[in-house]
Structure 1
Amino acid sequence: MPCIVRFHEIGGPEVLSLDEVAVPQPGPDEVVIEARALGLNRAEEMFRSGQYVQEPVLPAKIGYEVAGIVQAVGANVTHVRVGDAVSVIPAFGMNDYGMHGEVVLAPAHAVVAHPQHLSWDEAAAAWMMFITAYGGLIDLAGVGEGDTVLIPAASSSVGLAAIQICTMVGATPVALSRTSSKRQALLEHGAAAVIATQEQDVLAEVRRLTGGTGARVAFDPVGGPGFAELTAALAKDGIILVYGALSSEATPLPVMDVLGKHLTIRGYELFELTTDPERRARATEFVYNGLDSGALKPVVSTTFTLDEIVASHEYLASNQQFGKIIVRVTP
């Protein structure tokens, strides 16, 4: 029998196990996928440790991203066929479906064919990072030609996706990182400029880069004390999209900046887009076209094998990665 990744108690990476399960049978609107590669995300770490928006139902499946080969389809599924190479868009709850395993069951609406030139690693890495960035930057903020965008946690997979999407639409991506250790790598991956937030004056640097006007958009997964620097560095009528809370410290609300500059602070999470069929379709088309043309290219940090699933989550927790962590599944 194939194995899937599960956990039987909430905790650290050590609670993950490979459990043998029967091959799933697809319902009318489901697809069975024989996995080739799995993508890891911060959401899975939070889900496993009981800090996510969903409380795990134990024993809990886990995983939002997989790339592999269609093994079976339900009666209503017509857009993919047995034998197709596909990926999965995060458009479901992990209590309902878990994508990390050797053979997994996915809802048909989340299964997409990917450009043939992508490797399995790239296909497993693509959708969470690029659709998350697309949803905030394009769907909500309408980022385009001439906009300056501040991107905290820029070396994360979503941060790197945001840099690429900004470049694709003619905006100027300014990467924010705690130290200058990743400066060169971020510049090589498309950042127009890099600000080391623990070493430089963020406001002064943004003013210098924008001729004193400030940035129009900040795409922030961090929060915490640095939030005040972002509001200070925004232009009048600027937008802050908050899509995470990586900082464990309190997030201030700089009221005078918000009032004086007419700022918009918008909470954003991926599933408001991926559970809306029309918005999901637009996002999928945008990302697929970008991947197909080469304008968007997933950045893979490190690869593990499925029997190293605990080690892969330990590496995720270490925050050493530059891009996406991939777990390879041997057919």
Structure 2
Amino acid sequence: MTRVVRFHEYGGPEVLRLEEVDMPAPGAGEVRIRVRALGLNRAEALMRAGTYIETPDLPSGLGLEAAGLVEAVGDGVEGLVPGDAVSVVPPISMARYPAYGDLATFPARHIVKHPPSLGWTEAAALWMAGLTAYGGLIDLAGLAKGEFVAITAASSSVGLAAIQIANHVGAIPVAITRTGRKRQALYDAGAAYVVASAEENVETRLKDIAGPGEVRVVLDAVGGPILEPLTGAMSRGGILVGYGGLSPEPSPFPLFAVLSKCLTMRGYLVHEIIADPEKLQAAKAFILAAVEAGALRPVIAKTFRFEEIIEAHRYLESNAQFGKVVVNL
């Protein structure tokens, strides 16, 4: 028997239950790990609440990121043996491959021997943020040296990874956050400039920072009314990559800016990278090289014990964090 977290109904953090279940042996092409740390993501809160893109059968486990030690490998798995220290690239289905447990099983291609420079906590926080930022900025937008990039929700784990990746390729990250409360922390995290969207005119500030028409790339997790000032500050032929919808307000389509500047507005899911073996291999290589170079390091907001999973989800949804929420086992 092994401890797992499951939910039997949709709802708030209080529906999460710590239970004991039988853990089957890994199947062909699968790896079972003994989990040492879990990285928490908003996707897990959405699935728990019944508003995620995946609708699981109940009761369901959940969780997308983990780090730990290989305990067993299934038939056909090569290059991994019991005792290897590994971290997990998020699977497409967290209902099929849930991470929240003392033991967890994943497809072998999602298992990575992470750099020894990362401890369990940081290794569990690496892949969702790193892959999301890499996919939007590098794979889709082709962000290049010297370019300005506007990054909304900049204090999130993805936002902070995007700041680090932008700096790694020589681009100029402009962090956009709601208020000035996290301004200095964002500068300390590598932002070249910080814009507080609730306190400043976003379009005017971006034009002041980069010059009119000099923001080619925008990585946006917010949507809503901010789309108009963002596109208003973008360059001709620019690309806005939207990967989230944190704003509760409708997202007006900025038709005039899109038409007059020939803009691309691109919806993006990290699954685009994860489901494509070639893209995933390129992403792994980029991220591991950035970690080894000291350019990419997960920022940890707060850690919890496994028995505190309800409190961890409450904190995850508080919007108080700066970086990643991690549960240590």
Report the TM-score when normalising by structure 1. 0.98
Give the 3-state SS of the residue equivalent to 2:302 in structure 1. Answer: strand
Q: Is the 8 A contact 1:39 1:124 kept in 2?
A: yes
Question: 1:147 maps to what in 2?
Answer: 147
Question: 2:2 maps to what in 1?
Answer: 2
Question: Separation in 2 of the partners of 1:109 and 1:92?
Answer: 12
- Cα deviation, 1:99-156, whole Å, max 9, x if unaligned, reads 1111111111111110011110000000110011000100010001111110000000
Q: Is the 8 A contact 2:221 2:246 kept in 1?
A: yes
Question: Separation in 2 of the partners of 1:212 and 1:275?
Answer: 38
Q: Is the 8 A contact 1:39 1:327 kept in 2?
A: yes
Unaligned runs of 5+ in 2: none
How far has the Cα of 1:294 moved from its partner? 1.1
How far has the Cα of 1:19 moved from its partner? 1.2
Question: 1:214 maps to what in 2?
Answer: 214
State the AA in 1 paired with 2:108: A
How far has the Cα of 1:205 moved from its partner? 1.0
State the AA in 2 paired with 1:87: S
Question: When the two structures are aligned, how many residues end up with a matched partner?
Answer: 329
- RMSD of the TM alignment (CA)? 0.8
Question: Separation in 2 of the partners of 1:128 and 1:115?
Answer: 16
How far has the Cα of 1:212 moved from its partner? 2.3
Are residue 40 (structure 1) and residue 75 (structure 2) matched? no
Are residue 266 (structure 1) and residue 266 (structure 2) matched? yes
Give the 3-state SS of the residue equivalent to 1:205 in structure 2. Answer: helix
Give the 3-state SS of the residue equivalent to 2:224 in structure 1. Answer: coil
How far has the Cα of 1:79 moved from its partner? 2.3
Question: Separation in 2 of the partners of 1:90 and 1:200?
Answer: 36
Question: Separation in 2 of the partners of 1:94 and 1:297?
Answer: 24
Question: 1:159 maps to what in 2?
Answer: 159
Q: Is the 8 A contact 2:216 2:239 kept in 1?
A: yes
How far has the Cα of 1:214 moved from its partner? 3.1
Q: Is the 8 A contact 1:236 1:263 kept in 2?
A: yes
Q: Is the 8 A contact 2:42 2:316 kept in 1?
A: yes
Question: Separation in 1 of the partners of 2:200 and 2:247?
Answer: 19
Q: Is the 8 A contact 1:47 1:54 kept in 2?
A: yes
How far has the Cα of 1:280 moved from its partner? 0.5
Question: 1:21 maps to what in 2?
Answer: 21
Q: Is the 8 A contact 2:62 2:99 kept in 1?
A: yes
Report the TM-score when normalising by structure 2. 0.99
Runs of 4+ in 1 over 6 A off after TM superposition: none
Question: 2:229 maps to what in 1?
Answer: 229
Question: 1:179 maps to what in 2?
Answer: 179
Question: Separation in 2 of the partners of 1:265 and 1:9?
Answer: 36
Question: 1:292 maps to what in 2?
Answer: 292
Question: Separation in 1 of the partners of 2:59 and 2:84?
Answer: 30
State the AA in 1 paired with 2:186: L
Question: Separation in 2 of the partners of 1:278 and 1:57?
Answer: 31
Identity of aligned residues (%): 51
Question: 1:68 maps to what in 2?
Answer: 68
Unaligned runs of 5+ in 1: none
